[in-house]
A = this chain, B = another copy of it.
Amino acid sequence: MRSREQYIESLRDGREVYFKGQRVPDVTVHPELRLAVEHAAIDYDMAHDPEWRALAVDERDGKPVSFYYQLPKSGADLLRRSQLIEAATMLGGTLVVLIKEIGSDALFALHVVAHELDQRKGTRYLERVRAFYDHVKDNDLALSVAQTDVKGDRSKSPLEQEHPDYYLRIVGETAEGIIVRGAKVHTSVSVNSNEVIVLPTRAMKQDEAAYAVAFAIPLNTKGVKLITSAYGAHHGDSAFDAPLASKHRMMETLTVFDDVLVPHQRVFLKGEWEFAGELAKSFVEFHRFTAISYKLPLVDGLVGAALLMTEYNGLERAKHVQDKLARLISYAETLRALIRLAAAECETGPLGIAVPKTLVVNMAKLHFATNFHQMLAYVQDITGGLIATGPSEADLENPETGKWVRRYLGGRKGVAVEDRLKAINLVKELTATDFAGYQAVLAIHAEGSIEAEKLAMVREHDAARCLSLAKRLAGIGPNQ
């Protein structure tokens, strides 16, 4: 199990990273990217922290490995995985750590699909997947996953686009490996992980076989260019003013593959177009379970912040506040309940891998995503306008302004002004800053779209049971 220091050191490998148009020579010391590195290091800290080690580390196979990298075999494994993700995200200030979560989701999917592919096609991809999996597990690596193609015109397929590279594709092959060209967007934690797993974004047709490609490579591979989004830069804020964003950060890149050579041993799909959709879907289904798990500290944080502001503002007896609290609680606890059930009612697939119940996972994700923005409104309502008009830490520190802030911005008797302002600042970050906006955009777009979740639900639902019931009730059928 690597230490925080080993992890950080491993990122100083010459990778080609850009931030605001500037090449970043060392991500571990860049003022903004450093935040992302520190945030990710939470994962390595947990493995060595007595409080979390039992949850984070698995020793069932004789040697300690990260529990993220254990293939889940039961509902209990999935529940523990969910709890581990929740704990890490809580330590991450409601922001998922992700450097093992997403990669393990991809590894699980690669196992399942490679197995099926080998069965059906006589290929030997599973061996390669297992070799890469052992490499990752044994070296306790941090992983990112690049899936979403840049897509161009969304009404067109890969071959109909203005140029053929709007979806990543194979452009050549040598004795050493394949050559890939294209770009992926929304690649999270790519600047601070060790390897990137690349997966197809959608199903492909026969003439799109060049786009059916999956592989894994180190992030310092020649030709891989990481153009980081500067959205949400807060590295200068104080912990008082920005309790979350001042310490926690996740970064995404436009990830360019400029004719990159991928060694054969690292290629997991190469033109088997019938499996592109299956692999995309399998990854997303695992990843949505991760997603709903890492949302828990966020939704509980919203509930907790609302409860705290209710208390600090003296609003316990206001009926409309009770109503809003009930809606917040229902929102958060329905998510939690569905997660628990998705784990408990998992289905065991090929290789004994436990798959969280897909219908329930998608219900949970849709529930989270379609109600999130309204929940922000309730928390803002209970908190008050000071979210947007309150003073900063510096105003407290200057005695000339601090005395007025202390005199006038108290709430209920007995509550320290500092605590009330801290609570308001938490609400600010959860609902009304770049940090909040980031979470809101993730709610809508991460781990597949809302429409994709609806489709998955209709597909996974037991229509036969309901149709049969309806026919029985209506008196339709042979026995009526």
Contact = CB atoms under 8 A, between A and B. Distances in A.
A368 to B, nearest CB: 12
Interface in A438-477: 438, 440-446, 449-451, 454-455, 457-458, 461, 463, 465-476
A467 B166 contact: no
The 9 tightest CB contacts between A and B, nearest first, are: A432-B437, A304-B470, A21-B394, A304-B466, A319-B319, A21-B398, A252-B389, A326-B454, A153-B314
A434 B428 CA distance: 9
B326 A444 contact: no
Contacts of A385: 148, 185-186, 441, 445-446
A131 interface: no
B308 A471 contact: yes
Interface in A208-258: 225, 227, 229-232, 239-241, 243-244, 252-254, 256, 258
Contacts of A318: 154-155
A18 to B, nearest CB: 5
A254 B388 contact: no
Interface stretch (A33-41, A43-51, A112-120, A338-346): A338-346
Given A229-B388, A377-B373, A437-B428, A243 B473 contact: yes
A96 interface: no
B410 A444 contact: no
Given A408-B165, A408-B256, A305 B229 contact: no
B470 A394 contact: no
A254 B405 contact: yes
A130 interface: no
Nearest to A182: B408
A376 B330 contact: no
22 contacts: A18-B398, A90-B472, A93-B473, A150-B409, A153-B411, A162-B413, A183-B404, A185-B408, A231-B392, A253-B389, A308-B476, A319-B319, A322-B454, A326-B366, A334-B334, A381-B444, A385-B446, A388-B438, A419-B476, A428-B437, A431-B440, A432-B436
Interface stretch (A191-199, A267-275, A280-288, A295-303): A295-303
Contacts of A363: 330, 333-334, 337
A372 B313 CA distance: 24
A344 B342 CA distance: 13
A333 to B, nearest CB: 6
Given A374-B374, A469-B304, A440 B432 contact: yes
Given A154-B314, A155-B314, 11 more contacts: A18-B395, A307-B463, A319-B320, A323-B323, A329-B458, A381-B450, A385-B445, A423-B470, A426-B470, A431-B437, A432-B438
Nearest to A311: B467
Contacts of A20: 392, 394-395
- Number of contact residues on A: which range applies? 35 or more
A429 to B, nearest CB: 9
Interface in A374-412: 374, 376-377, 380-381, 384-392, 394-398, 400-402, 404-405, 407-412
Interface of A is mostly: helix
A390 B185 CA distance: 8
A177 interface: no
Contacts of A162: 410, 413
A125 to B, nearest CB: 28
A353 interface: no
Given A390-B229, A455-B322, A466-B307, A155 B315 contact: yes
A423 to B, nearest CB: 5
A190 B5 CA distance: 50
A433 interface: yes
A17 to B, nearest CB: 10
B300 A21 contact: no
Nearest to A256: B404
Nearest to A466: B304
Nearest to A434: B433
A11 interface: no
A55 to B, nearest CB: 17
